[in-house]
Amino acid sequence: MKTLVFGAGPIGRWLALRLHQADKDVTLLARGAAYDSMQKEGIVLIDGYTGEKMVARAKLVEKLDSEDHYGLVVVAMRKSSRLAVCPILGENKNLQDVLFLGNDVSGFHRYFDHLPAEKVLLGFPGAGGGWDGDDLVIVDKEKPNGKSRSLYVGELDGKTRERTERIKEYFEGAGLPVSVESDIDGWLKYHFAFMAPTAGAVLMCGGDVHAVAADGAVLRKYIRACREAGNVLRGAGYKKRQPPIFNLYYWLPEWLGVRVFRGFFKSRFVEVAMGLHAAEVGAEVSQMAEEFGELKTRVGIETPNLDELLSYVARRS
């Protein structure tokens, strides 16, 4: 499957590198200084566990022409950027499927202003990371010797089609497990309910995930914020808490939750995937917080702990 990864941020580079390492026909679209740098040095990532430098000389392009043919385009960009490139994607009638990979709260309908619904899928990467000085540091496993984290993919109507299985097989052929979700819209909303309080707690503690782990009051506020966000989604009709681990915010008594999530914030995965990432996602999370606020207003649920943590994100943005 001829694939274009549209976007050369951390996730776009990671995905292009992994697909190239697996001998897939992948091209990475980058612009400006990012394109120039990768033309000279290739895609360069640092493994967040081992410190190993990984380099891939994948194909690069600076733009998508209207006559280009791709079986799959993976748009790996922040939400505002994903929406901004939709007109470019819409001008090309030769693109078979478009997978938008990343955080979202408002849903998928605005993609349809430029793209037919039958071309669109949504998803989320299992990897995380960000810039540490000049180094792009990535983790895509829970533990150094563990298996790769799943890449989540879903059709808009929840059905599993032939193309869903084809895309799943394609990624898994590159060593990337795929979880096909029956409600990817709800999955992404619940991911915000987890991710936004996590980013807020990290930024509340000055970007130091270990400081979060050491502060019981912050951890209690974090747990309550996740519950509040989940309550809003339940009130809005999203009954299935997903992924299932989200239920821990409800099932565990708070004192035990503090112990469990203290270990979570002490992990190297969170240090890289959330600690480095939190410093970069302020504007995106603030945008989604506004969209989440519309849900909150509709269901009439107050979220004081979530609001406080999101205030630290707003300051960052």
Residue ranges per structural domain of the chain: 3-182, 186-316
Which residues lie across from 124 on neighbouring strands?
152
Q: For residues 266 and 79, which has the higher predicted lDDT (pLDDT)?
A: 266
167-219 pLDDT, tens per residue?
999 999 999 999 999 999 999 999 999 999 999 999 999 989 999 999 999 99
Q: Quick check: do 3-182 and 186-316 share a fold?
A: no
110 phi and psi angles, rounded to 5 deg:
-70, -20
Structure tokens at 173: 């052929």
By DSSP bridging, strand 151-155 and strand 120-124 are antiparallel
Counting every residue written for the chain, the total comes to 317
Nearest to 76 by CA among 6, 127, 2: 6
Determine if the peptide bond prior to 10 is cis (ω within 30°).
no
* pLDDT(28) > 90: yes
Query: What average pLDDT score do residues 59-85 get?
Result: 93
By CB atoms closer than 10 A (0-12, 13-18, 19+), residue 14 is buried
* pLDDT(47) > 80: yes
Structure tokens at 111: 């993609």
Query: What average pLDDT score do residues 44-64 get?
Result: 96
276 — pLDDT class (breaks 50, 70, 90): confident
* pLDDT(316) > 80: no
The Cα 55–Cα 42 span in angstroms is 6
Question: What is 3-182's CATH superfamily?
Answer: NAD(P)-binding Rossmann-like Domain (3.40.50.720)
- The mean pLDDT of the chain is 93
Structure tokens at 74: 């993976």
CATH hierarchy code of domain 186-316: 1.10.1040
Q: Fill in the DSSP letter of residue 141.
A: B
Listed in sequence order, the residues at least 6 apart from 232 whose beta carbon sits closer than 8 Å to its beta carbon are: 193, 292, 295, 296, 299, 301, 303
Q: Is the pTM of this model over 0.75?
A: yes
